[in-house]
Amino acid sequence: MDNLKILYLASEVSPFAIAGGLADVTSALPKALKGFNHEVRLIIPKYKFINERKYVLREVIRLREIPVTINGKTEIASVKSAFLPDSKVQIYLVDVGGFFNRSGIYIDPKTKKPYPDNAERFAYFSKAALETLKILSWQPDIIHCNDWQTSFVPVYIKTVYQNDPFMQGIKTIFTIHNLTEQGEFEPEVAEKIEFDQSQVKEGGMFYKDGKLNLTKGAIHFSDFITTVSETYANEIIDDDSIGFGLGKLLEEKGEKFEGILNGVDYSVWNPATDKFIPHTYSSEDLSGKEENKKALLMRLGMEYKENTPLVSLISKITSQKGVDLVHEAMDQLMDMDIQMIIHGDGDRALVKKLNEYTTKAPDKFRINVTFDDKMAHLIEAGSDMYLFPSRYEPCGLNQIYSLKYGTLPIVSQVGGLFDTVEDLDEAAEEGTGIILEDLSAEAIVAAVKRGAELYHQPEKWQEIQKRIMAEDFSWELSAKRYIDIYERTLAE
Ligand code: GLC
């Protein structure tokens, strides 16, 4: 089959709106699919902060005022069109009822809490997306949804649109990026989003732990479910502390549930061409890396020390990411001759505890509490090691970026981390990173020590850097697997 029509739906897409790794995937995969000559279009919300001039958003007269009705309540959507930067992938940006004319994506920056009407916001977004297709008369073969924010689409297609001729034959794929966030709301919300209220009771399709659970609904209604690595797919089923109560349902999906490892968009994450780092470099000439390290440390007001390894962590500051274990290890880590940077936001209490070390060890440690994508590039480029001790990790992208940037990953043995990093052997002649012995502060200290010892053998270190920079996780292979799933699903 060639020339599939694929609609890709997401709540974040880089560079328009980024809250985490999801945004990298939702921009890279559509580009990769387009590369295989499929017709791919994207729809995302038009958040207030998206700069219309910078991204050349255009008005589409037909899409200026689209009535979107959910359970009798009509909101007006307006849709603009643009292209994903450096690509021919068309993207539509939807605001509806002013739901996205706000400064946060999911969280209100003022209250630091999720917007109370998040279920309705994304329900209207999803329905507006489907109405947009009708006005455009563009009927996709596949609608590929991502996480709970787009979970309404598989449900609506098989419920409120079940007799709509336009929607006939459209197949839905749902990708789970992280089961930590399942889209859980009070059961009363069902009415507002036009979900069958009888299914929000014990045993119902949308019911879990006393709540309306959007991910569960999407699993029921989608034609195929994927997640972002093979190991995570297995862990979801085998270990309830990772599957969060959805493992059994996914197991029942049988061959309609698969793990496909995320790829990397090397046009964005490549130290030889990176626009966000002051000194580009490659495995032939690594000198720029040290210059980036100086620039990075200077940016953070830290002194550059020759022959002192810099260990970084870019992540949500949560216990899922094992950052509490890093905190436990801090006294010992700060006793070592290393420097350390943590970049990210999250659990307030944990951030506060880590922050104490900026006073205790000012020239050794910084925590940079924001999420800034450009800074993430500089940290990858300027660091020697990258620490990622997650308790579970659907895929994880920064460990893969680290490989390309010659920054040795130190990771736990879970999910996508397990699928992308291979432990160095005794002589460090093979392997691409250091795998933690177990999930503990001691294991983190031991791994950083092992990394530091290798770092102090410059010849060996360079050999390792060159080896890991040659690793290739480009999207091609994974995109082919998605295409295969689309084709299989359409053939049913
Ligand atoms: C989520 C997951 C992360 C994954 C990303 C993209 O952020 O936590 O592991 O890499 O989605 O799929």
So what CATH class is 5-263+475-491? Answer: alpha beta
Sort strands 73-83 and 66-70 into parallel, antiparallel or unpaired: antiparallel
pLDDT at 91: 98
- Residue 372 pLDDT grade (very low, low, confident, very high; cuts 50, 70, 90): confident
The set of protein residues with a Cβ atom below 6 angstroms from ligand 1 is 20-22, 25, 177-178, 228, 262, 393-397, 416
Among 288, 330, 312, residue whose Cα is nearest residue 451: 312
What is the distance in A from the centroid of ligand 1 to the CA of 419? 14
What is the distance in A from the centroid of ligand 1 to the CA of 337? 32
The number of CA neighbours under 13 Å toward the Cβ of 117 is 11
Residue 339 has pLDDT above 70, yes or no: yes
For a pocket test of ligand 1, which of 8, 146, 228, 401 has the largest count of ligand atoms closer than 8 A to its C-beta? 228
Domain boundaries, the chain: 5-263+475-491, 287-469
What is the distance in A from the centroid of ligand 1 to the CA of 176? 9
For a pocket test of ligand 1, which of 147, 181, 262 has the largest count of ligand atoms closer than 8 A to its C-beta? 262
pLDDT digits (tens, 9 = 90+) for 204-241: 999 999 999 999 999 999 999 999 999 999 999 999 99
C-alpha of 23 from chain center:
6
Question: Region 104-115: what's the mean pLDDT?
Answer: 95
Residue 22 has pLDDT above 80, yes or no: yes
What is the distance in A from the centroid of ligand 1 to the CA of 401? 13
pLDDT at 130: 98
What is the distance in A from the centroid of ligand 1 to the CA of 21? 5
- Residue 314 pLDDT grade (very low, low, confident, very high; cuts 50, 70, 90): very high
Asked if 415 and 229 touch (Cβ cutoff 8 Å), the reply is: yes
Count the Cβ atoms, other than its own, within 10 Å of residue 228. 27
- What type of residue is 226? T
Asked if 433 and 399 touch (Cβ cutoff 8 Å), the reply is: yes
Read off the tokens for 118: 């998040």
CA 24 to ligand 1: nearest atom: 6
CA 393 to ligand 1: nearest atom: 9
CA-nearest residue for atom 8, ligand 1, is 178
> What residues are paired with 41 via a beta bridge?
7, 90
CA 175 to ligand 1: nearest atom: 12
What is the distance in A from the centroid of ligand 1 to the CA of 393? 7
CA-nearest residue for atom 1, ligand 1, is 177
- Residue 371 pLDDT grade (very low, low, confident, very high; cuts 50, 70, 90): confident
pLDDT at 315: 93
The label of the residue with tokens 């010992």 reads: 332
- Distance, in Å, from the CA atom of 78 to the CA atom of 416, rounded to the nearest integer, reads 38
**What is the enclosing helix (H) or strand (E) of 77?**
strand 73-83
Q: How much of the chain, in percent, has pLDDT values that exceed 70?
A: 100
Residue 294 has pLDDT above 90, yes or no: yes
- Distance, in Å, from the CA atom of 468 to the CA atom of 24, rounded to the nearest integer, reads 21
What is the distance in A from the centroid of ligand 1 to the CA of 390? 12
For a pocket test of ligand 1, which of 8, 13, 14, 22 has the largest count of ligand atoms closer than 8 A to its C-beta? 22
Backbone angles phi, psi at 241, to 5 degrees: -70, -10
Asked if 442 and 419 touch (Cβ cutoff 8 Å), the reply is: no
Read off the tokens for 238: 């085998």
Query: Which string of DSSP letters, residue by residue, matches 47-83?
Result: -TTS-TTTTT-EE-GGGSSEEEEETTEEEEEEEEEEE
The pTM for the full model equals 0.95
- Residue 321 pLDDT grade (very low, low, confident, very high; cuts 50, 70, 90): very high
Name the packing angle between helices 373-382 and 287-299 (round to 10°): 130
> What is the residue-averaged pLDDT of the chain?
97
- Residue 1 pLDDT grade (very low, low, confident, very high; cuts 50, 70, 90): low
- Residue 142 pLDDT grade (very low, low, confident, very high; cuts 50, 70, 90): very high
What is the distance in A from the centroid of ligand 1 to the CA of 177? 5
- Residue 303 pLDDT grade (very low, low, confident, very high; cuts 50, 70, 90): very high
CA 232 to ligand 1: nearest atom: 9
- What type of residue is 359? T
pLDDT at 366: 97
What is the distance in A from the centroid of ligand 1 to the CA of 427? 32
pLDDT digits (tens, 9 = 90+) for 474-490: 999 999 999 999 999 99
Choice among 31-45, 224-238, 265-279, 367-381 with the minimum mean pLDDT: 367-381
Residue 66 has pLDDT above 70, yes or no: yes
Q: Is 319 strand, coil or helix?
A: coil
What is the distance in A from the centroid of ligand 1 to the CA of 225? 15
For a pocket test of ligand 1, which of 12, 105, 178 has the largest count of ligand atoms closer than 8 A to its C-beta? 178
pLDDT at 74: 98
Question: Region 178-198: what's the mean pLDDT?
Answer: 97
Q: How far apart are the first and last CA of the chain?
A: 14
Q: Is 340 strand, coil or helix?
A: strand
DSSP 200: S
Read off the tokens for 243: 């599957």
pLDDT at 370: 82
Among 320, 297, 256, 324, residue whose Cα is nearest residue 382: 297
CA 394 to ligand 1: nearest atom: 9
CATH topology of domain 287-469: Rossmann fold (3.40.50)
Note every long-range contact of 336-339, with CB atoms under 8 Å and residues 24 or more positions apart, other chains counting: 336/445, 336/448, 336/449, 336/452, 337/308, 337/452, 338/308, 338/309, 338/310, 338/311, 338/364, 338/448, 338/452, 339/297, 339/302, 339/305, 339/308, 339/309, 339/310, 339/311, 339/363, 339/364, 339/365
pLDDT digits (tens, 9 = 90+) for 68-92: 999 999 999 999 999 999 999 999 9
Question: Region 5-27: what's the mean pLDDT?
Answer: 96
Instruction: Say whether 287-469 and 5-263+475-491 share the same fold.
Output: yes
